Structures are given as structure tokens and as C-alpha cells.
Structure 1
Amino acid sequence: MIEKVNSPANIQAMLQTLKQYETEAKSGLNPGNVGKSEVSQPSFLDSVKSAIGSVNDAAQAAGIRKTAYEKGEDIPLTDVVLSMQRSSVAFEATLQIRNKMLRAYEEVLRMPV
């Protein structure tokens, strides 16, 4: 089954990760932690890849349902519309997260060295 990217728990987890990275960037790097990674937590890159993959899966599932409905298969129109809306909301959430990350990156670039 498709993992819901737009569920409140997933969105909150991603926002919490972003806030954690923002806090670390503002406070500066601790030399003792450079190069160390925690084994119990997935990396930020893995989280982003997973989220983007889930959004892509939702879009593909919506496309498959739409095509099946157009071919005349026994799929309720409400299911098609709901899957397309879920896909749209997931994409919009991902777009907003991308925009926030770009703004944070630009802010880090503007910081004096």
C-alpha cells in the first residue's frame, strides 16, 4: 500500500527534521560530531528520497486509477477523484518543503564566514 506523505505524522516528522538541521546550522558545528552519524536514525537524504518516492507512487497510482476509469473498469469516480487529490496535496506539500529548504540554504549562504 502507498505510504501517505501528506499524513500529519509524516509532515510533522519532516518539519521536525528541517527544524533540527536549521538549529544545528544556526548554532554552528560541534567539531566532535563532524563525520559521525547515528545508526538508529535514517539519514536526511534517505528521508528525502523516501518522501519523494512516496509522492511519485501516489501520482502513479492516481494515474493508473484514472486510466482504468477511462477504460470503463468498475472503479468509482469518487475513488479516482480522491486519489488524484491526494496526489496533488502530496505534491504541493513537497513543493512547499522544497521552497523552505531553498530559503534556508540561501540564508546559510548569506551568513558571514
Structure 2
Amino acid sequence: MSSTPLSFGVAEIMALRSEIVGRSSALQALRAARAGAPGAAPAAPLAPPGAGFAATLETALRQVSAVQERSSQMQAAYERGAVTDIAEVMLARQEASIAFEATLQVRNKLLSAYQDIMRMGG
């Protein structure tokens, strides 16, 4: 194990966060383009600048929850016949899947960092 495992873990988490934000922005832009909204605004940042880690994490989890809820609503609307564009439904499902997978990866990195910290204290 290297002498600074925690700093490397934090760098990985920040890189993963940036990748998640980039993917989310790309998916939102694609969804806006499919909805016919020309010149859609870019995605909002996860939390305002200067927000604490807990606030950033809470905001990210709420956004993941909202994406999953939207996906569920789209699927239910398709099953009722209210939505006829299967591509839009599949896009919403894929976005929810990516958001959930990214959340699990961040959780795993945080758990690993926590375990490293606990090992240092002994």
C-alpha cells in the first residue's frame, strides 16, 4: 500500500464525480434535443460553489432519485399508452441506470476510503 492511499482515493472520487457530471450533462442535452428544446441550458452543478461535502452528496442523491422516479413515470406512461416514443423511455431508463451505477461506484470509493482511515487509527 502506498504512503498516501487516502489522497489517491480522493482524487479518484473527484475524477469519478466529474465523469458523472459530464455524462449527466450529455444525457440531459440529448433528452432536451429529443424533446425539441433548441438551445437547452447546460445541467446545473451538483451543489453551489462552497457547499460542504454532505450538502453535495445529498444533492447528488436527490438528483439520482429524481432521475429514477422520472424513469419509472416514463415506463408507466408507456405501458398506459400515454407515451409512444420507446426511444425516449429507453433513454430515461439508461440515464437512471447510469446514475445508479455511478452512485454505487462513489459509495464503494467512500467506503474504501473510510476503511483506510480506520486502519490508520489502529
Please give the alpha-carbon distance, in whole angstroms, between the structure 1 residues aligned to 2:94 and 2:23. 19
Q: Does 1:111 align with 2:91?
A: no
Q: Does 1:7 align with 2:16?
A: no
What stretches of structure 1 move > 6 A for 4+ residues in a row? Answer: none
Shift of residue 9, structure 1, vs aligned partner = 7.7
Please list every run of 5 or more consecutive structure 1 residues that lacks an aligned counterpart in the other structure: 11-39
Please give the alpha-carbon distance, in whole angstroms, between the structure 2 residues aligned to 1:89 and 1:103. 21
Shift of residue 112, structure 1, vs aligned partner = 3.8
Deviations 1:23-46 (A, max 9, x none): xxxxxxxxxxxxxxxxx6001100
Normalised by the length of structure 1, the TM-score is: 0.65
Deviations 1:12-70 (A, max 9, x none): xxxxxxxxxxxxxxxxxxxxxxxxxxxx6001100000000000000000000000000
Please give the alpha-carbon distance, in whole angstroms, between the structure 2 residues aligned to 1:67 and 1:83. 12
Please give the alpha-carbon distance, in whole angstroms, between the structure 2 residues aligned to 1:61 and 1:6. 18
The one-letter amino acid of 1:45's match is: A
Please list every run of 5 or more consecutive structure 2 residues that lacks an aligned counterpart in the other structure: 1-18, 25-48
Identity between Structure 1 and Structure 2 (%): 32
Q: What are the equivalent positions in structure 2 for 1:13-24 lying under 5 Å apart?
A: none
What is the aligned residue count? 80
Shift of residue 6, structure 1, vs aligned partner = 3.4
The one-letter amino acid of 1:8's match is: G
RMSD: 2.0
Please give the alpha-carbon distance, in whole angstroms, between the structure 1 residues aligned to 2:82 and 2:94. 20
Please give the alpha-carbon distance, in whole angstroms, between the structure 1 residues aligned to 2:97 and 2:23. 18
Taking a change above 3 Å as real, the CA distance of residues 9 and 79 of structure 1, as seen in their structure-2 partners, is: closer
State which of 105, 110, 114 in structure 2 corresponds to 1:96.
Answer: 105
Taking a change above 3 Å as real, the CA distance of residues 9 and 59 of structure 1, as seen in their structure-2 partners, is: closer
